Structure formats: structure tokens, C-alpha cells
Structure 1
Amino acid sequence: MLKFLKGVVGSAAGGIKDLPYSIGDPYAASWGSWTHCQGTSKEDNSPVSIFSFTASGAQDGRLAPARNGVKRLRTVRHPNVLSFLHSTEVEGMEGKITIYVVTEPVMPLAEKIKDMGLIDTQRDEYFAWGLHQVSKAVSFLNNDCKLVHGNVCLSAVVVTPALDWKLHAFDVLAEFDGANPEASGPMLQYEWLVGSQYKSLEFAKADWALIRKSPQYALDAWGLGCLIYELFSNTNLAKTEDLRNTAPIPKNLLPDYQRLLSSQPSRRLNPSKLIENSDFFQNKLVETIQFMEVLNLKDSVEKDSFFRKLSTLVEQLPRQIVLKKILPMVASALEFGSAAAPALTPFLKMGAWLSQDELTSKVVPTIVKLFASTDRAIRASLLQNIDQYGNAFPSQLLDEQVFPHLATGFSDTSALLRELTLKSMLILAPKVLWPSQPQANTTMW
């Protein structure tokens, strides 16, 4: 880390020297005064996100909360919180101070939703999965860490390439101080950064005594209600009164939405209860991903039943989420042995929806590893479906890593494997790098 800091701090003129990341195009929007740009690592060209904030000087009131946000993001670790990689400050000309924060690659939720173009049931299923993830992050902050985010809303959520939702924008985040309800002064030191449209009644009135007496999740429960409104209304919240318009909210989410936005802080719904009890989360997409996340805890009968149904199920789920989220999860399960032969059928079915290049990069590496398996059921399934992926093998990869394992099938004790191995050569033979034949000696004596 010290080496990184020395490399990025510029000269007296305030330039960025030897920053090990290239800053790309900015996204259209970000939270607060931050700018969110695409970026890449100069070391291996891997993608990242780079957030930057520029203060006019050391006395700029926004500088302290920005530093708070960086510190909090660095120290709070959770699967549904944006993953921090690096940060640094650079002093520029005229005393300007710029903070750079490097994170895993993400894009703003609003932009990703627009790009995906989901509608109707598929949109609601994806929103349910995303809200489930954000609610878990908020519950972790509130119930486990006794922290208050303070500004949960659409712009505080970003999306990974695997289409997972991550919570960030921690500038306002602070410890919940419920032990001293009569204390003067705000509990959230930087509450002035929060837009008035996102503030509950007690927050808008700066009634800190009431806030301290309320449950630690009360402010962020309200924020989850604001996020839900912005998602389903497809617009940024303009004023608090707009939250009363419940027409866009799905009927099976409406009771929870109303409890999150209760006028009485003590009656608001704990995010943990939202996760556990909401009917809105009971859908095929959420249940499928949740099953995959705890696959190691399932017995073989449950796994086989799940994977036999998955081939049909993936046809009903949003195609983008199937390919970017579920396909990699099934690939990982096959590679590490937590899934058996029945998982190959849906895996190859999903792989057939990829382009040829994507098939080679996302499916073939798993297939190569599976050819080394001693499980006859897996070997048989691979050979029976060779027509779905055989042409995607680069010749050298096939020759060096696949054919030595495949060739053992010619002498296997199982007649079925011998037959399937022989039939597979109809597809693979043209791609195998056969040894060059010696030329005949034509020398005339």
C-alpha cells in the first residue's frame, strides 16, 4: 500500500504520477459530489471503478464527509457492500484536494436498469433479487454493526458485471448513538448532504432526541422505502410527498413498503424482517440463486432434483441474469465438485446461448477440467453432448489438455464409454493436431 501511495502522489504541481490505474469514461451520474469513472489496472488490464472527489481546499466542508466515506468503505466488509481496493489523496494547484477511490468494477444501478430493458415479471424478479441484496447490506450495517447509512437511495447502489447489487456512498455513515437520547447535536454529523426528499419527518425536523430513541434501523428503513419507490416509478424521488403514490409498487410488496415508510419510527420494518418475511422475495430467480449459494449444504438427492429442473427453469428467467450470474455459479459448482453429472445438462444448455467467443472463454475452461474427472457419469454426459461445445475447443488446448484424458475412453471397461469416445472423434478429429507423417524416402540409388 505504501508503494502505491508513493507512486500516485504527484509533484508539487498536483499531477497524478504513475497511477497504476487508467481512468476511462465517466458514468452519467454518481452519488453526491463524487464522479464515477470506468478504469483498468495498468498491471493486468483488469477492469475497476474509480471514484473521485475534488475539494476546493482544506476548508471545503465536503472534504471531511468524503474522507469519512473512504474510511468507512475501507473498513466495512460484506458481500453486498462495494469492495474497496485502493484510495489516495492528491493536492493540486490552488490548494485543491482530490480523493481517488478504486473499487471492484461496477456501474450505477439506474444506468444498468436502463441498459437491461427488463419488463413485467422478469423486471420484478430481478428487482426482488437486487432489493434482497441491498436489504442484507443495510441489515448488516444496522443490526450487526450498529451503524446508520443515512442515505439509502437509488444513487447509493451500484451493479457488478455479475449483476449483483452493492451498497456504497458511505459519506454520511455513522455509529448509532442510542445510549444518550438527550444529547445535543446531530448523530449523523454530515446529515446536510442528504437531500430533503429522502428525509423522514423526524430527520427533516432534526429531532435527534427522537432519532436516538428510535430503533437503529429506522432511518435506513425509510431509505429502503425511497429506493423501492425510485425503482418501480422509474424516476428519481423529487419530493417526500411522492412516496404516497403507491400505484407503481407491486401488490405483494406494498404492505412492506408502507411499513418501511411508517410515520412512527418505532413501527418501521426492520430490514432483517423484510428479508425473512416479504412475499415479494418468493420468486424463481431469488430461490434459484439462494439454492446455489448454499449448494454445499444440500444432500445429493436435493442437488440432483434441483439440477434436473434447472434446464427448464432457466428458460423462464431473465436471460442476462442466467448467463452472467447463474451460469458462472453452476460452472464453479462443477469445477469444485459440489455438483454432479445432472448439472452438466443445464450448464451446456446455458452455454449454447453464448456467442462462440463467450462459449470458448466461459464454458470450455470448465469442460477441460471435467474431462480429467474419474466420474463415469460426468464423462458420459460430456461425450453425449460433444456436439454442443466440441467446435469451440482451440486445437492446441484440445491436443494438450483434453485428448490425453479423452483417449483413455478407447480402452475403458465400460462399453458405453468406449462407444461414446469413438463417436466423439467424428467432431474432434478435424481439430486434433495429429503428428506429422514422415515423408517417404524417394532418394534414387
Structure 2
Amino acid sequence: MELGGFEVLSNVKDDDAIIYAYGSLVPDSSRFAPPELARSGWDAIKKSPHSAVDSYNFGIPPTMHASYKRLVNANPKARITVGAFLEQGRRSGGFFDSPLIKLTEGIDNLDVKSEEERAEILDDLDQLTDDFPEDFFKMKVLPELLKSVEFGGGGPKAFGVVMKIATKLTNDDFEARVQPVVIRLFSNPDRAIRVCLLDNLPLMIDRLPQKVVNDKIFPNMVSGFTDVAPVVREQTLKSVLVIIHKLSDRVINGELLKYLAKMANDEQPGIRTNTTICLGKIAKNLGTSTRAKVLIAAFTRSLRDPFVHARNAALMALAATGEYFTEEDCATRILPVVCPSLIDKEKLVREQANKTVDIYLQRIRKAAASMPRQRTPQPQDKAR
């Protein structure tokens, strides 16, 4: 129940009470005002019992009056049937033609509706924000939507509405109501559902425990790396950045790197490029013992990619991850493979190569400046 209108709260014994002058300014006051107020304004309260306004609001809606009288007609032959009463109420503009009733009935029968009808209901739901109480969505709408997504063909559209409702759930409610379905959906073979899950992962990830992501979601998610549909592979790759902080070191440096190595050779040039970008962004999460080896191998391969943006991505990634390489790596393993890019056929690559080379040269020069002018004489030098 919601309360409002306290800004005109008054003592009705006061002849100058503000409700008489300002009661009509309360939002929706005219919508539920009894006839005497509609005719004469709120000053009419003075001439009636103080309970009269409340009594009117507790009564039958005016739109139902005529049908109600026919329902309780003293002449049994003139009484309408309950079915006719309901039919009158459901007509356009009828007393049962309200968003809440339409939504409640639509949700109850969502699974048996046609695809067009289901889409219309989901559109209505998608547009509703604060029109109805949160508990109505949580207890009534959410269970039906989850059932529709998982079993009734509700698809990505229904899941999108689920995510909107889920933003208002407490962590406990999310864990109890939404999380189990999300876990099961990640094993769903429907590509549209899988892409929808990956799209919405940023909205869910902070609600999902690390153990759930690492042990239950990621093992089902990895099939997307090898899916025949490029859009699934692409979206799975993008999701790595979302879930990386919820994966264990063992999973990151084992299974994940194995799949990323395959993605680096994908037939789609955009996916190869994004794999390089992804590796550059997750460099800090890789194991320190193998990080330099993994990154140098991956970026070196990308520098030879026929796709211009893949080569450019490799140069940018090298520029961003220089801190993870030793000065010796910079001088002997990285600069020699970057230098050919200085005369790449594409200006975009040449310009980035110059920036990357400058970064590594500065690093090497700084290291060289701190080295001794001459190496320490060795015993064999004296024998010569």
C-alpha cells in the first residue's frame, strides 16, 4: 500500500484548512474524486460528513455501476449473466480494461499465446517501470518469465525483461530466483539464448559468486569459442573481459589460454583482432611465470596477420603491456619483430609501429644508461 497527499494534510475543523484550496493539486485527485467535489471543488468537504470522500473511494468504480445494477436487478429475467458482466468489463474502455488486469492475464497464459501476442505482452512489460509494486513483479511476473525463457519459447526478449526486474531484486532474491535458471540456460544449445546471456553478463556478473562462475558457468560457456556461428564466438570472446576476475588462476592459465590460442587463428579477421586486444587487456591476470612467453608469441603472430587491424592491434597491445617484459626481452625478442612494421604497406600500421618502437627504445635506453661503462674483467681476460 502507498500513501500520499500529506502536503495537504489538514484539520477539517479549521475554516481555512489548505485542503479546501489546494486539494485539487494532489496528483490524480480528480480521477478518484466523488461527484460533489467534481462539481463544487474541495470546499464541498465542509458541507458533507468527513467520511464521505473515503466512503466514495471505497465503493464500486463508476464505470461498473450500470453493469452492476443489471447484475442485481430485482427482476430475475432482466439480470445479466456473470459471463455477460465480465464481457462488458473486458471491452475497450471497460472496467476490467486496465494495464494491471491485462498484464496479469497475459502473464498467466504466456506459454500458450502466439508469438505475436507474446511479443506484445513482453513489449508492454519492457515499458513498465514503476507502474506496479516491485513485489508484483517479483512474485507474479518473474516466475512466469523465467519459465517462459527456459521452457516456453519466451527467448531473449523475455530474458531481457527478466534482467530489468532483476536489477531491483536483493542479492538473496537474485540468488534464489534467477541464478539457478541462469546456470541452466548456459547449457542451453539455443544460440539466441546463449548470445542473450553473454550480452547480459555485465548486468549479472557482480551478483554471481566466483565459484558459480568458475565451476558452473565457464565450463558451459567455453563451447562458444568453437561454435560454428561467428556471432557466438565473437560474443564469447568479449565476455572474457567480463568474467576474468571471477576465474581461478588455474582456469585462466590453462583452459582459457588454450581457447584464446585457437581464437587467435580464427577464420574471421575481426575475431583474430579482438583476441589480440583481449590478451592485452587480461595480461595482468596471467601467471607471472609464463606471461611474457604467452604474450610475445601471441603478438608476434598477430604482427604477421594479413588483416591490417590485427597487425595494428598487436602493436597497440605491445605498447600497453611493455611493463611485463624484461629489458632483454624488449631488445632481443620484441624490437626485432616490430621493426618490419615500420615499413608496413598500411600507414595506420606504420604510425603505430613508430609509437611502439619509441616506447621500447626509451625503455632499453633507460636500462642501458644504468649499466656500467665496461663489463667487469673476467679471469680469462688477464691470461691473454
- TM-score normalised by length of structure 2: 0.47
Higher Rg: 2
- TM-score normalised by length of structure 1: 0.41
- Report the structure, 1 or 2, having the larger strand content: 1
- Report the structure, 1 or 2, having the larger helix content: 2
Structure scoring higher RCO (CA < 8 A, sep ≥ 6) equals 1
